[in-house]
């Protein structure tokens, strides 16, 4: 690169550094009043019938206009206006705009009179009243725009804070779910291992391995909000194998995963409360069937968790393990799949005849997850 090119690049870099060191308000002021000065220059050229005189007056007046606008901003701040345009705020805008216009016209008159900068074909009244009305409209428009921008930025900040607070709360609940394991499940699983050790050490070892796999998934990924479907189903399978060892022939489980769905991303522990609910509240009078189906449908995932039994009436407290209830599942779906999910919990009529020659209703929790999940971080 030539020395001239290096010099230009360096100058551009220094300008950008200088520009971004200026507060945002003053950057906006420079741009807005810079554009306005061009319009003002064109207007004055017509009124004064002299471009040189119009340019001179513009160079004198535009810094004054910026200073008055900054004073208006400070006045609104001292009055405690937060951006909402109430009747009182609107009245103050008109009053302060009129006062600002009077100040600017007075200053301009004090400069114009000694310099002899008279406006051709205008009398003394026109030289005062026309600029007075003009600048009052300018300052009123600037004030209304300032209130609108301030209200918009304030609303955006509030929404961002609310979204961050919700995300933090959901992450805390997710960590609580992983760290505060169901004590009854853990106690019963360990007790089952202890009972199997004397007579069936191989079965006890297998049950202990499944429990370890489930705990590893629960604890190792505390900070990981999104995992693969394969990893999620592996943890579900380990959990269900432990439950099968506990309940024996009273519990039959199956997980069907579409190979195309296995590498897809899914929110970690999104399915766990639903599967636990199916085991806990399913009908084990003869035996309980729990089936998990995960299929890919284009870019979407369809998940069905089915158990034999009937749907608990609303308000009975089902699906509340460690505070992660149905409402939380829905809120996590809203966070990770905003506007891109469908969730239903329904009871279906009796299915095919079971092994004990009975027909039983089934409860189906179904999720349709569209696209990739947001990390929520």
Residue 80: the pLDDT is 72
CA distances from 62 to 37, 58, 125, 128, 292 (A): 7, 6, 23, 18, 71
Fold classification of 180-370 is Heat Shock Protein 90 (3.30.565)
If we measure between CA atoms, which residue out of 260, 257, 311 comes closest to residue 281? 311
pLDDT in tens, 39-49: 888 888 888 88
Q: State how beta strands 288-297 and 341-348 pair.
A: unpaired
Written as one string, the DSSP assignment of 309-372 is: S-PPPTTS--S-GGG--HHHHHHHHHHHSTT-EEEEEEEE---S--TTS----EEEEEEEEESP
Structural tokens at position 17:
């550094």
In tens, the pLDDT along 89-120 reads 788 888 888 888 888 888 888 877 778 777 88
pLDDT for the residue 254: 94
C-alpha span between 365 and 235 (Å, rounded): 19
Is the CB of residue 58 less than 8 Å from the CB of residue 98? no
Rounded to the nearest 10 degrees, the angle between the axes of helix 272-281 and helix 326-336 is: 160
What pairs with residue 304 in β-bridges? 293, 366
DSSP 51-73: HHHHHHHHHHHHHHHHHHHHHHH
Instruction: Give the side-chain half-sphere CA count within 13 A for 167.
Output: 15
Strands 265-267 and 300-308: unpaired
* 3-state SS class at 305: strand
Separation between Cα atoms, residue 216 and residue 193, nearest integer Å: 18
Intervals of the chain under pLDDT 50:
1-4, 317-323, 353-354, 357
Would you give the distance in Å from CA 334 to the centre of its chain?
10
96/73 Cα distance (integer angstroms): 11
* HSE value, Cβ hemisphere, 13 Å, CA-based, for 355: 9
Can you give the residue ranges of every domain in the chain?
Answer: 3-162, 180-370
The pLDDT value given to residue 350: 64
Average pLDDT, the chain: 79
pLDDT at 365: 92
Residue 200: the pLDDT is 77
Backbone region of residue 153 per phi and psi (left: phi > 0; alpha: psi in -120 to 50; beta: other values): alpha
List, in order, residues 6 or more apart from 222 with CB less than 8 Å away.
Answer: 175, 178, 179
Locate 153 and state its tokens: 């930025």
Rounded to the nearest 10 degrees, the angle between the axes of helix 183-199 and helix 201-220 is 150
pLDDT of residue 320: 43
* Residue 309, pLDDT score: 84
């Amino acid at each position: 690169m030539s020395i001239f090119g290096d010099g230009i690049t360096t100058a551009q870099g220094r300008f950008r550094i200088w520009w971004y060191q200026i507060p945002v308000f003053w950057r906006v002021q420079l741009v807005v009043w810079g554009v306005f000065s061009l319009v003002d220059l064109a207007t004055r050229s017509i009124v004064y019938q002299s471009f040189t005189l119009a340019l001179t007056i513009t160079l004198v007046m535009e810094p004054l206009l910026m200073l008055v606008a900054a004073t208006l901003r400070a006045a609104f701040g001292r009055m405690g206006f937060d951006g909402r345009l109430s009747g009182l705020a609107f009245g103050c805008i008109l009053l302060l705009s009129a006062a600002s216009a009077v100040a600017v016209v007075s200053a301009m008159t004090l400069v114009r009179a000694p310099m002899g900068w008279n406006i051709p074909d205008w009398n003394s009244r026109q030289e005062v009243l026309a600029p007075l009305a003009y600048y009052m409209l300018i300052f009123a428009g600037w004030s209304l725009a300032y209130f609108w921008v301030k209200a918009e930025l304030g609303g955006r900040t509030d929404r961002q804070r609310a979204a961050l607070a919700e995300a933090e709360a959901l992450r805390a609940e997710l960590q609580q779910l992983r760290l505060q394991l169901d004590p009854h499940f853990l106690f019963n699983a360990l007790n089952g291992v202890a009972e199997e050790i004397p007579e069936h050490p191989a079965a006890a070892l297998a049950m202990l391995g499944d429990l370890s796999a489930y705990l590893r998934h629960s604890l190792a990924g505390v900070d990981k909000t999104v995992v693969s479907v394969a990893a999620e189903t592996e943890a579900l399978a380990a959990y269900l194998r432990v439950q099968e060892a506990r309940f024996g022939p009273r519990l039959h489980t199956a997980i069907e995963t579409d190979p195309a769905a296995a590498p897809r991303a899914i929110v970690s522990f999104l399915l766990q409360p639903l599967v636990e609910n199916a085991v806990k509240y399913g009908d084990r009078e003869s035996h309980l069937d729990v089936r998990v189906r995960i299929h890919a449908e284009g870019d979407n995932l369809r998940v069905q968790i089915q158990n034999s039994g009937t749907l608990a009436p609303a308000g009975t407290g089902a699906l509340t393990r460690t505070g992660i209830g149905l409402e939380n599942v829905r809120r996590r779906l809203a966070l990770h799949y905003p506007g891109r999910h469908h969730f239903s919990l329904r009871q279906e009529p009796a299915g095919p005849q079971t092994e004990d020659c009975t027909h039983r209703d089934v409860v189906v929790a179904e999720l349709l997850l569209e696209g990739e999940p947001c990390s929520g971080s």
